[in-house]
Structure 1
Amino acid sequence: MPGVSPWWNTLPFVLVRTSATVPFDELSDLLASTGARLRPGQPLAELTTLRVGGPAVVAECRTTDALVATVGALDTAGIPVLLLAGGSNLLISDDGFPGVVVRIAAAGVELGTDSVCAEAGAVWDEVVAATVSAGLGGLECLSGIPGSAGATPVQNVGAYGVEVAQLLRRVRILDRSSGAIDWVLPEDLGFGYRTSVLKHSDAAVVLAVEFELDPSGQSAPLRYRELAQSLGAEEGQTRPADLVRATVLRLRAGKGMVLADGDHDTWSAGSFFTNPVVPHERASAVHAAIAAHVGEVTVPSWETPEGIKFSAGWLIERAGFGKGHPGPGAPARLSTKHTLALTNRGAATAADLVELARAVRSGVAERFTVELEPEPVTVGITV
C-alpha cells in the first residue's frame, strides 16, 4: 500500500507474557545496559494528573536511546509494558500495573525557522511556550494542555479550534515488532476526532514529533467562538500568537484546566468524555429526547461528516449532573468549574472515579439515548 508506514499492518502488537512475575533482580539484569533507571513499587498515583493508580516497577528513560533499548529488551522478554510520559490521559487501576511502566522522559526541543521538533517526553506546554517565545505561530491554541509532546498525535489533541493533525509535519516512530525507527507522515496515522491509529495500540512508540509553524508569529485562524470573542476578533481572523496564548491560558484556568497543585479542580484528566457524534439518522431521536426532558431549547451541536456532534458537557449538566456533583465530601466529584472533568478531591481512588464516570454515562444514556465515550486511556479497569 503506497505511502503507508511498515508498522501499519502490525496492529495490534501482542505480547507473549500476559502477566509479569519477573523478580526485580532479574529485571535489573535485563535492563542493566539500557540506560533506564529502575524504581520498584513506584505508586503510579504520583505520575498521573488524576493522582490515582497502584504500584508498579518503573523504568525511567531520559534519552531516546534508553527508551528504544528498554522497550526492545522488555518486548523480547515478553514482559508487559505500559508507556507513560505526562500521565495526563490515564486512569490506572488501584492495583497498579503487572509489568514494567516505561517512563518517557527524553525532553529535547529543537526550534527551526518554521518548525519545532520535540522528543516524546517534552512537557507539551513548555514546547508551545518555546514556539511562541521564538515568534512562531500555530500551536498557541493548544496552550495549557497537560501531558507530553509524544502523546499529542496519539489522540490528536485539540482545543479552541485547533487539532494536532492540522499542524503535524511528521512523527518519529519505533516499530515494536521489527525494532525499526522511521519518520511517519500524518496521512498514515488515521487521524480522527481525539484519536489515531496509535491510540489503544501497542504496535508503535512515538519517539519525537515535528510541527510546521508560521514564522510571522501570527496565530492559527481563530475557529472557536469563545476565544475569538475574547480577542475581539471575527472567526477566521488571526492575532499575535503570544496574545492568543495568554488568552487561552486565562480561559482554561477559569475552567480548572491548567494544572495547579492546590486546586483539586485540576486533579483530573481534563475532559473525561469526548463530545459524542451521533449518526445523522439518529439525530432527530436525540433531539426529541432532549426536548422531552429539557424542553425546546437550543442545543450546542455541530455538523460533521460522520454525524451531529453534541456537547458532552451540556448533556451531562442537563442530565442532572451539575458542577461539583455529587457534592461536598465525595472523594471524586465533577469539577466545580467544568462538568466535563472528573476530579480527585484529594483522597479518591480509581474505583471512586470509575463509579462516578459510570453514573454519569448511564444517566446521559438513560435520559438522552446518547452513549458517552471516555477520553482517557484506562489501565486495568473498565469505565
Structure 2
Amino acid sequence: MSVNMDPETLAAVQLNLTPGLGPRLQTLLLDRFGSAQAIFAASGQDLLAVQGIGPKVSAAISSRRNLEEAQQECAKANEHGISILPKNSSHYPRMLTETCDTPPVLYVNGTLIESDTLAVAIVGSRHCTHYGRTQATILAGALARAGIVVVSGLARGIDAAAHRGALDAGGRTIAVCAPGLLKMYPPEHKDLAREIINQGALVSESPLERGPQKGLFPQRNRIIAGLSLGTIIVEAGLRSGSLHTARHSIEQGREVFAVPGRIDSAASEGTHNLIRDGAQLIRNASDVIEALGPLVKPVQSTPETTVHTPRELNLNEQERLVLNLIDASPTPIDQVLVNADMPPSRVLSTLTVLEMKRLVRRLPGSCIERTHG
C-alpha cells in the first residue's frame, strides 16, 4: 500500500512533526483552514486566532513552511516499508474517520484491508493473571477463526495474549502503537510485531522516531476503540489504562464488553465495575458476535461472503448459503427454494432458524427479506 507524497500529504506530515501540536490542535487547525497546506500558508495572526495556538506554536508552524522535515520523514518511511496515510486517503480506515480527534496522518507497517472494519478490540492489564491471559488468548483465537480482526495495543499482558491468540488461529490482528513505528515498545515484542506485520498491521499516529512517552499511551487508546466495533476488557484493575479505552468506546457509540473474573480478584475490580455500570458480560466469542450491531455498509469478509451484520459470522455453511439467496428487498420463498441446491424441507427449516436469529423477516405474500438489525 503505497502513498503518493503529494503536497497536501507532505504538509499533513509536517504538521504532525511540529512541536506542540497534538491531534486535538491539529484537528482545530484543519477545521479552521481546511487543509494542511492552508495552515502553513496562513499568517501568524490568523494562526493565533485559533483556540489553543499561542505565539510559540504559531512560530513553530511558520518556521516549517518549506516542509523539509516532512520530506525526510517520508523518505525514511519508504526506506522501512512504512506507509503514511493522510485522513483523505482511500486506504485510511473508515471506522477511524467516524471518531473524534481522528489522527490527521496514520503510519502503517503491514496492510489494512476492507474487512478490517469487522474488528473487535481486546485490552486489559499489563500485570494480568494466568486466568486473564488464558481468556484473552481463547477469545482472540475464537474471534479470529470467525473472521473478526483483533485490535490491541501491543502492550505486555492481555494485549500480547490477544495478538498471539489471533495469530495462532491464522487470523488478522492490528496493533496500535503509542510511540513511532521505528521505536518498538516494549522492546521484547519485536518478534511479535514482525508476525503482526505479516498477518495484519502495526499502526501509529506518532512520527517514526518518537519514543515511548507516558501521555502517548492513553492518547492511543482512542484509536484502538476507533478501529473497532466494540471493545472487550479482560482484567482491569481500578486504575487500569484499559478503562480509558472502554470510555472512548462508549463516547464513540461502540459496544463495551467485559470478561468477569473472581469476585475477590483485585485484577478484575475495574472490569466488575464496568459490568455493574452496564457493560455486557461475555463468556465466549459467540456472545460478542451476537451482541454487535449492524455494519454501516456490508463488508466482503471472503471472496464468497458479504457480511451485513457480525451475527452472520456465527452461521454454519448451510445457513450462510440460504441467507445469501435472500435480498434486502422482498424475495419470494419459492425463488429461494428453486435456487438452493438442497431439499425444500431443509431450506424451509433453515429459513426458520434464520428467522429465529433475526437475520430474515417473513412478509405477506410468501416472501422473505434480509434484515440488517
* TM-score, normalization by structure 1: 0.24
Bigger share in strand: 1
Provide TM-score, normalisation by structure 2. 0.24
Per chain length, whose mean CA-contact separation is higher, i.e. which structure has more relative contact order (CA < 8 Å, sep 6+)? 1
Higher helix fraction (1 or 2): 2
